[in-house]
Amino acid sequence: TKRDWSLFKRENNITTYKSDIDPIRNWSDYNLIPRDILTRLTIDLGYGKPTPIQMCSLPNILMKNQDFLGVAKTGSGKTLAYLIPIFIKLLKTPSVHNKFRGLILVPTRELAQQIEVEGNKFGVCNLKSIVGGHSLEQINRDLSLDIDHNKEFVLIATPGRLIDCLDMGIVDLKYLEILVLDEADRMIDLGFEEQLDTIYNIIQKTRVATYNNNNLQILMFTATLNGTNISKLAESKLKNPIIIKLTSSS
């Protein structure tokens, strides 16, 4: 009912919810999550329930093939809010190309490596990070080593290093289906705006429509939407996005 929904929104600090489908309240709602991922979440990690941003992001990213903007403070579980939907989407439509279908752009190398470790624990996809500080030769080697070819690839990168790799032809994003801009506010703060534009333009130019997905789905996560440049980034990169905003309780 309407009253339950307002209560749920209040309890979970959901201030904006622009979508016509309901959030999940438990991992098993809508039967979105396959058993192995569910086991990993609940038994291995001990995460009894999704966090509010995960409750909102999971069904929306998975059930709507639409861009997504999630605003929630640091520590609210945004990493799994996009990693789980990416895993499920890629599992559902295995590709024959052995190419990157998911790309996560992050502001720092530490964050890239953290996401790589966290994501690889699920054993669902090959997550590979490319960051500054590694030589292009080393990156090229890393991308071909230790890869389980039965699994889908997800790339995690800082903008500058990714551009180098694209220029050198080490990485190719022709088959990209999901692009995540994580910590978009920090990427703006660190002056990555122009590089994000460059990457976005390269993706638009080189992507070919794959047999199972004609649209690139862009997911943007940020702790804040305050600041002209961050709202401009959202407006210029996201097409008719689902918008979910959570505010911290006072």
Contacts with ligand ADP, residue ranges (CB under 6 A): 47, 50-51, 54, 72, 74-80
Taking the least distance from each CB to ligand ADP, the nearer of 31 and 204 is: 31
Note whether 245 binds Mg ion by CB under 5 A. Answer: no
Q: How far is the CB of 155 from Mg ion (least distance, A)?
A: 17
Taking the least distance from each CB to ligand ADP, the nearer of 55 and 165 is: 55
Q: Sort 131 into a burial class: Cβ within 10 Å, 0-12 / 13-18 / 19+.
A: buried
168 φ, ψ (degrees, to nearest 5):
-85, -5
* Partner interacting with residue 158 (select from Mg ion, ligand ADP, none; CB below 5-8 Å by kind): none
Taking the least distance from each CB to ligand ADP, the nearer of 72 and 184 is: 72
* Phi-psi sector, 181: left (phi>0), alpha (psi -120 to 50), beta: beta
Taking the least distance from each CB to Mg ion, the nearer of 77 and 160 is: 77
Q: How far is the CB of 146 from ligand ADP (least distance, A)?
A: 24
Residue of closest CB approach to Mg ion: 78
Bridge partners for 218 per DSSP: 179
80 φ, ψ (degrees, to nearest 5):
-70, -20
> Which among 2, 89, 74, 19 is positioned nearest to 243, based on CA atoms?
19
The binding track of 69-108 with respect to Mg ion, each residue x by CB under 5 A or -, is: ---------x------------------------------
Report 39-58 residues binding Mg ion (CB under 5 A): none
Distance of CA 39 to the CA centre of its chain: 21
Bridge partners for 180 per DSSP: 104, 219
* Partner interacting with residue 106 (select from Mg ion, ligand ADP, none; CB below 5-8 Å by kind): none
Pairwise CA distance, residues 68 & 64, whole Å? 9
Q: Which residues here bind Mg ion, judged by CB under 5 A?
A: 78
